[in-house]
Amino acid sequence: MLDVSPLWPADLDHIRLDTPSPRALARFYEQAMGMASAALGDGSYLVHGRQRRLVIGVGTARANPYNAFALADRAQLDGYRRFVAARGVALEPAPTPLFEDDAFAARDPDGRLAVFGCPKPGFADVTPAEGPAAPLPGRLQHVVVASARFPDIMAFYRDALGFLVSDIVHTGKADGPPGDTNVCFLRANLEHHSFAAFRAPAAASDHHAYETTGWGDLKLWADHFATLAVPLWWGPGRHGAGNNLFFMVRDPDGNNLEISAELEHLARGQPGKPWPAGGRAINLWGTVWNRDVAAP
Ligand SMILES: [Fe+2]
């Protein structure tokens, strides 16, 4: 396992979600997440707001064809491209219009693209968002996938792409030997995770998260969602892995959005923790969302 990586530092910049009706889903993000929409000319929309942006494209509901990570500068990107290519990964053109032309992508074992590049400055200046949620803090911070090929996904993001492992969850009991790893949290900067994977019966997008400035922001967001009759379906709670406060809501397609605060920081070489089965890694306060039907 790496304790240094040329991917460091990299931040989640944007994700793409597909839907049969991009305009309708974009409208949800405008109202619920305080974002503005811009048509990208191919039927897709950029939805963007305060420290948050997504591409909403035409496709199967809940598909997540790519997740895009921004590196610090071109020199880092060049070195990182060599690092990934040296691990035998086939590099593909970046599908996003939001990064400069030298961005590239790598296809994970479930067919999803991980995209790496430097943001194009022009896209930061589109029409400002309006509405009650526009000023609320919520930086797009992590994205999570579920996979039936979990060991392959974990190995790909760790070994081929150079994400550092923070905490893992395994299927063993606290007083027994560790079992199979079934959740892995990975990072490319000080924040505990910008990507994570859960073992699950089928490949799927799991959730994406917006990091706020503190517990009080969760109240502001929950009150805002209440005005739109968008219910909290999980939480509030505190994840054991990452130690962040959270709740989750769903968009009309069923994509899970997490509002988060107090996400743990880990230094570059700092090891994470292994968590036993039992659910405390997932929620210290209450109910657990278990994605792994095979887990005891
Ligand atoms: Fe999360």
| Ligand 1 centroid distance, CA of 89 (Å) | 27
CATH number of 10-125: 3.10.180.10
65 alpha carbon to ligand 1 midpoint, in Å? Answer: 18
State in Å: Cα 136 to ligand 1 middle: 19
Q: Separation of 144 CA from ligand 1 center, angstroms?
A: 7
Q: What is the pTM of this model?
A: 0.97
Query: Using an 8 Å Cβ cutoff, are 40 and 26 in contact?
Result: no
Q: How many CB atoms lie within 10 A of CB 82?
A: 11
| Model confidence pLDDT, tens digit, residues 102-120 | 999 999 999 999 999 999 9
Each residue of 1-39: pLDDT tens digit?
Answer: 556 789 999 999 999 999 999 999 999 999 999 999 999
Domains of the chain: which residue ranges? 10-125, 139-275
pLDDT value, residue 5: 86
C-alpha 238 – ligand 1 centre gap (Å): 11
What pLDDT is attached to residue 260? 98
Q: Is the peptide bond before 137 cis (omega within 30 degrees of 0)?
A: no
pLDDT tier at 197, thresholds 50, 70, 90: very high
**What radius of gyration do the chain's Cα atoms show?**
18
CA of 82 from ligand 1 middle (Å) equals 30
What confidence tens digit (pLDDT) does each residue in 48-64 have? 999 999 999 999 999 99
For residue range 232-268, list pLDDT tens digits in order: 999 999 999 999 999 999 999 999 999 999 999 999 9
What is the pLDDT at residue 2? 56
- For the chain, the DSSP string reads --SS-TT-SEEEEEEEEEES-HHHHHHHHHHHH--EEEE-SSS-EEEEETTEEEEEEESSTT---EEEEEES-HHHHHHHHHHHHHTTPPEEE---TTB-TT-EEEE-TTSPEEEEE-B-GGGGGSPPP-STTTTS--EEEEEEEEETTHHHHHHIIIIIS-PEEEEEEESS-TTS----EEEEEEESSSBS-SEEEEE-SS-EEEEEEEE-SSHHHHHHHHHHHHHTT----EEEEE-STT--EEEEEE-TT--EEEEEE---B--TT----EE-SSSTTT-SSS------TT--
Those residues whose beta carbon sits under 5 angstroms from the ion ligand 1 are: 209, 258
Domains 10-125 and 139-275 share a fold: yes
Average pLDDT on 39-43 reads 92
The pLDDT score that the predictor gives to residue 295 is 73
Q: Any idea which architecture 139-275 has in CATH?
A: Roll (3.10)
Distance 196 CA to ligand 1 centre (A): 8
What is the rounded CA–CA span in Å between residue 248 and residue 234? 5
